[in-house]
Amino acid sequence: MKKRILHIALTCLFLMGSFVSVQASDVKGALAGLGSPAQPAVDIAWDRYYDYEGITEILKRLSNEYSDICTLESIGKSFQGKDIWCVTITNPATGEHTTKPAMYIDANIHANEVQSAEVALYTAWYLLEMYGKNDVITKLVDTRTFYIVPTQSPDSRDSFIHEPNNPHSPRTGQIPRDDDGDGELDEDGPDDLNGDGHISIMRVPAVNGNWYIDPFDSTRMVYAEDGRRGTHNIIWTEGFDNDGDGAINEDGPGYYDPNRNFGWLWRPAYQQYGSDRYPLSIQEQRATADFIAAHPNIIGGQSYHNAGGMILRGPGASIDRVYNRDLAVFDFLGEFGEKVIPGYRYLITHEDLYSVYGGETDWMYATQGIVGFVNELWTPFNMYRVIPDEDDWFGSVEQSQDFDRELLFGEATVAWTEVEHPQLGTVEVGGTVKHYQRASPGFLLMEECHRNMAFTLKQAMIMPELEVASITRESIGDGLYEVTAVIANNQQTPTKLQVDVENNITRADVITLSGPECIVSGIVEMRPLEQFSVQDKTPEQVEVPYIPGNGTVTVRWIVRGRQQCTVTVNSVKGGTATGTYR
Amino acid sequence: MYRIWCLLVLGVLFLHSSLPMQAEVASTRNKPSTLKKVLLEIADAHSDLVTIEEFADDGLGNSLLWITLGLGENVHTRPAMVLVGGIEPMDVTGPEVMSGIVSSFLVSRTLNNDRILDSVTVYVVPYLSPSSLETLFNSPDEEVFGSLHPHDADRDGLVDEDGGEDIDGDGRILWLRKRSSSGNFVEHHLAPEIMVPYELGVKGQRYDVYLEGIDSDNDGKLNEDVVGAVNLNKNAPHQYPAYTDYAGDWSMTAPELRALTEKVFSRPNIIGAYVLGTYDNIKSDWKFDARRNPRSANLLSTDSSAYASLRTELAGDAPFVLKGAPAGDLGSWLAYGVGPITMIAPTYVYLAMPQDSSLETSSDPEVLAYRWLRKHKSKAIKGWESTEHNFFDSEVEVGGVVAWDMVNAPADSLQAVTEKHYTFVRTMCDHMPKLSVEHAVVDLGADMYRIELTVSNEGTLPSHTVVGNRVKMHKSVVVQMTPSASVTLIEGLQKTVDSSPIEGHSQRSYQWIVKGKGSANILVMSPSFGSKSVNINVSAGGR
């Protein structure tokens, strides 16, 4: 009997073992490369794009493995009922997540900008795997909170990965909309004519057409310029006229642009294409905004997109502004980003790219007082480490095709093949696969993740770090004393941005004295001699508009008695600090 | 008989409300909840003409009503208007006016054989701000500034903690004023209890003005976080007044506005809207601000001509010009963000003042209202009186006009106000787009025929608006050609989707070339234009 039990147990162990895949960290004798977790508890391949189920599994594994510093929650549901996941990473032993300056990171608001989710996931993974092993990361997790939303568009992410698409689709979510105004919803989207899982383009031979085939590379189409006679016309993306209206693919899934739907300088669709019905009409973006607004401790913001290798700051529109004092923080980080992510450029959205009304990070800045950046991942610089032209977001056709041929060995190309089209007759279909041009190739993805994470962690590092730098007490006679406290912010970001202070977005920072009876209190300023501005109300509490980056504020109480004095700073976005004078 | 009884019930309500009224006897007016009961009874009695749905919850336990007036199965696929009242937090009159308009349509049908509801659908939202309006009935001598969703106006982490108080014990919460050489207000030169914004060059004492009350939270600010309050007429996206009082944290935070917008989007047959607002665009020179929106100026020229045509029809009945600038209000949101041709009129003050020939006249209706109140409802006005207030280090005065009385029509003029609004609405109904089609068949020889179709709009308003089409609320005009099996379509589309509006009193032609004898069906449809189907005999002559 015992033998039989042993046999069953051994069989079970063998079967269990057969389900455990060999992971990189299982291989003994390796020296981990610097900057990477040596033996990650959750081993993840960073050379691929995960669908919704994959992201969910990774997040659950991380939150289970690191449940002491990581929690996973659903902040809302997508149109198709998927969870919009958010991981919160901080060390609760050093304070509740809401009491620390917070960095909010999201990605994949445009689902076709696929690798953005991996950058956000990588950030969560790296913070968790390196906590306790790297001092910088440990300090960050102890003193800051990270809220990370890897995908804002889980429905369309699955569409991108599992359904036929091109590099630019789906940018929209999946809520049906009547794009062509014919009363029908999503009735004429693209069709995968050659059944390869990609929506590439259709061409037909044409006398004096606009394009011709490159005589040196038959996969390449060249636009017929300078009076040259072309051989083909390019019709459109793959598809039929499904509804008999003479147009092809004019009403596919969606269409709206989730990153034009936020409630700052939102404009109707005739002014801002894709803005949808009204600010935050799209439930996924409403969930995101509600989450951010419910966490006023967020002062750093990052949204990952692709492509072009850009670090974008607002304003998105020329009628908007970024306050002068806030520019110091933006510029410092933008320039840092250009350094740590070679090939990326620090740009102003409306000046250097195009106008964006209703953009997420503009909403973050103007209504929540958050330093918001958009990183456009993947730069053609990464192909050959050559700085591209200023307007070259995806790389030239020639460069892209060389890169595909020489480094991807042709995986990105959809060879031209003939198919029968019900309206056009015989057409040729070809071009590129959907995860080329904008998505980072597998062998470069981990680098993209790490460098962009480093940029984001820099922002987290320079978020406010408060300290009660000194407390002094001087007798002024009759049992009264002046208690003076200097409150320092030891990082570059002020506790409130200027946009916040000027527009009363969050409450003032409050510095409280407990211990002796407070008679009167106020702020001490040096102009150039000491000036004491009295605050009339609640003398134990002094309100200061903000505590500047790498600066101090000095506050003073006139108190009765010599009891121990405890000074507590409480800043919505800057965190807390306490000091005692005995 | 039951139908007439129900209309009488509504009539009795209005009669009841025509009793002499003071704000303190607000029980003589009809709360939204009272109106709802009566409207539901009317719907029961006129189920062929009236349906009522509770289309949203305002998040505070009150439902928002969507009343559909119209006969026939195609009520949602023919031209329609939407009327919206009870938007402003103090506008008790608006829901009563809207309910009165519902009644007026039915009475006119019964007594005057008015058949407009056979061809035009009228949707009515009697009130959008029920929470504040209901509350107002409990405290008629206070001022309510917006819907009652808790809101941390001063961002101190506390919600609604510092509203107004009756510090002089007279039962009313009015205003405090303090002399200040840099104050932002001065007395109205004809109505000293009304404080108006100071303008450069105006002479006279300047004041700081505060809501009557104390610093309840001891934060050094007076009444800076009243109950609620997001004003639904400041929270919409068109020229949204960011960072201003009662505008909300960003546009469309108010669930009532979102619910209404979604509802209007779900009814693409709505081509006209009539909104009770704080200014009028019927007589005043109200046009799209091309300077602020240069990319859209040309785009909207088609819609602008429709506005101009409709104004011409309505302006004769508009007694006053009430100027105002759009700033987050619902009316301009519907006009420029959703799509219907939207007329905005004030509920009361500028529309139908009660007559009193003994009063000195004025071109300023606010002054007229003030003079009428001074004579007939003196308790609504309190002259400025000095008062003790420990918040201030110098003398302050308390006084002003009770907002309820200034905003709302006196009970005995409610009927006249309602009639005036009904006149506008009924006139707009007459100018809905009207679809008609004509066709001809031309024999081209070789068994080929050209089918010509002329689509005409015999109404004033366009088939749809450019705004509505661009924001995907209005549908395009779809012309669907379906030939019989023996007829082949040679040229022309099976389905033509025409996004360009067919303007009022204009026509547009479509043509096809077909081969073979038989028939063809052509269906022209657009929810805001209606639909027509023609069967064509494809042969010489075509009839």
Cα–chain-centroid distance for residue A521?
42
Q: Tokens at residue B269, please?
A: 């047959």
Distance of alpha carbon A434 from alpha carbon A167, whole angstroms: 4
Residue B182 DSSP symbol: T
Distance CA B362, CA B352 (A): 14
Contacts with B302 (C-beta within 8 Å, 6 or more apart), sequence order = B462, B465, B466, B500, B501, B503
Nearest residue of chain A to residue B464 (CA atoms):
A181
- Paired tokens of B248: 């909300």
Residue B474 in contact with partner chain A when CB distance is under 8 A: yes
Closest residue to B470, CB basis, from A183, A270, A504: A270
Give the containing element (helix H, strand E) for A420.
strand A413-421
Considering only CB atoms, which chain A residues are within 8 Å of B491?
Answer: none
pLDDT tens string for chain A (582 positions)? 455 555 555 444 444 444 344 466 667 788 989 999 999 999 999 999 999 999 999 999 999 999 999 999 999 999 999 999 999 999 999 999 999 999 999 999 999 999 999 999 999 999 999 999 999 999 999 999 999 999 999 999 999 999 999 999 999 999 999 999 999 999 999 999 999 999 999 999 999 999 999 888 787 888 898 788 999 999 889 999 999 999 999 999 999 999 999 999 999 999 999 999 999 999 999 999 999 999 999 999 999 999 999 999 999 999 999 999 999 999 999 999 999 999 999 999 999 999 999 999 999 999 999 999 999 999 999 999 998 887 777 788 888 989 999 999 999 999 999 999 999 999 999 999 999 999 999 999 999 999 999 999 999 999 999 999 999 999 999 999 999 999 999 999 999 999 999 999 999 999 999 999 999 999 999 877 888 888 877 899 999 999 999 999 999 999 999 999 999 999 999 999 999 998
Determine whether the interchain pair B252/A278 forms a contact, defined as Cβ–Cβ distance below 8 Å: yes
Residue A466, Cα to own-chain centre: how many angstroms? 26
In this structure, the dihedral spanned by the alpha carbons of residues A568, A569, A571 and A577, taken in order and rounded to 10 degrees, is -90
B466 close to A (CB below 8 A): yes
In the prediction, which pLDDT does A479 show?
96
- Chain B, 287 to 326: residues with Cβ < 8 Å from chain A are 292-293, 295-296, 299
Q: Which of B36, B161, B305, B473 is closest to A281 using CA atoms?
A: B473
Residues 6+ apart with CB under 8 A from B191: B366, B367, B370, B371, B401
pLDDT digits (tens, 9 = 90+) for B205-251: 999 999 999 998 888 888 888 887 899 999 999 999 999 999 999 99
From B251, B252, B295, residue closest to A271, measured CB to CB: B295
Residue A98, judged by CB atoms within 10 A of its CB (0-12, 13-18, 19+), counts as middle
pLDDT along chain B (543 residues), means of 10: 48 42 51 94 96 94 96 97 95 95 96 97 96 84 83 86 89 92 94 93 92 88 86 94 94 97 98 90 68 61 84 79 78 94 85 76 82 88 91 89 86 88 96 97 95 98 96 98 97 96 97 96 98 91 58
- Phi–psi pair at A161, nearest 5 degrees: -75, -40
SS3 string, A99-150, reads HCCEEEEEECCCCCCCHHHHHHHHHHHHHHHHCCCCHHHHHHHHHCEEEEEC
Residues on chain B touching A280 (C-beta within 8 angstroms):
252
* B478 in reach of chain A (CB within 8 A): yes
**Residue B334 DSSP code:** I
**What pLDDT does residue B279 have?**
79
Residue of B472, B479, B482, B496 to mutate when probing chain A, most A C-beta within 10 A: B472
- Give the helix ranges, DSSP H, for A425-536: 442-461, 498-503
Contacts of A363 in chain B (CB under 8 A): 250
pTM attached to this predicted model:
0.94
In degrees, rounded to 5, the angle at the alpha carbon of residue A381 between the alpha carbons of residues A375 and A384 is 150
pLDDT at B10: 52
Q: What is the pLDDT of residues A456-481, one digit of tens each?
A: 999 999 999 999 999 999 999 999 99
Note whether B497 contacts A: Cβ–Cβ < 8 A: yes
Is there a cis peptide before residue A315, judged by omega within 30 degrees of 0? yes
Tokens of A343: 């090939």
Q: Give the Cα separation of A354 and A307 in Å (integer).
A: 14
pLDDT of residue B77: 97
* Cβ contact A246–B493 (<8 Å): yes
